[in-house]
Structure formats: C-alpha cells, structure tokens
Structure 1
C-alpha cells in the first residue's frame, strides 16, 4: 500500500474531483509535501482530514433537545 498520494490518487481515494483536492491544498486545509513541482499527500493526512469531517448522528431525543436550544 502506498504511503503518499499524487493529487489524482488522493482524489480517487476520497472519491472526489482533482479540483476539490487542489482547492484543499491551496486553502491549506490539508497538509502536503512539495517535491519540486510535484505535490504529494500522506495517506494518514488524507485519512485524518476525512475523519475530521465526521458528523455523528443524533438520536430522536437528542435532536429535539438540540432544536429547542437553537430556537
């Protein structure tokens, strides 16, 4: 298994577009390594980015409490 991805490989791994990965890089939202003109992303950094976007599901009671506080 590869330790580093190219931008294309990272996009394929995340099932998204190359444009989205390049935007993450340009906005410095994901760590990357520059090797001359080439950009590489560590698999662990990509996995960390994916895990950071996880949103836990609410149960019905917690959802009602959440929406009552918001109003």
Structure 2
C-alpha cells in the first residue's frame, strides 16, 4: 500500500483512466466528498486502495441489447 500526495494521487488516477485534477481532490476534501484520505499534521495522503475504490465506482457496465 502506497501513500501518495494530492498531486501524485491525481496522476495515479489519471494513469488508471480517471481524470481528476489536484484541485478537484482538494475541493472534494473541503466538501467531504471523494476518496478517503489521511492527514498527518498539515500533510494529506491518499492510499492507492482508496483511489482504486474511487475508480471502481466510476466504472459503468453496459448490457448488450443484441443478445
């Protein structure tokens, strides 16, 4: 399990197909939304399993209407 800064978390999400900016992650924290995060002093960290969970929630499965 890896701890990522906000900037690293945004890059990680982008690498797995979820386009979320650093500013969006910061805004979500202010509003109590988005992935879980951990705060140590004034530093914020995201864990990759929490980011993966966010990505899984973004996935949409379609049903083949032809069959």
Shorter-chain TM range is 0.7 to 0.9
Unmatched runs of 5 consecutive residues or more in structure 2:
15-19
In terms of fraction of residues, the more helix-rich structure is 1
- Structure with bigger gyration radius: 1
Quote the RMSD (CA, aligned, Å).
Answer: 1.8
* Partner residue, 2:27: 23
TM-score by length of 1: 0.72
Higher-RCO chain (CA-CA 8 Å, sequence separation at least 6)? 2
* Partner residue, 2:3: 4
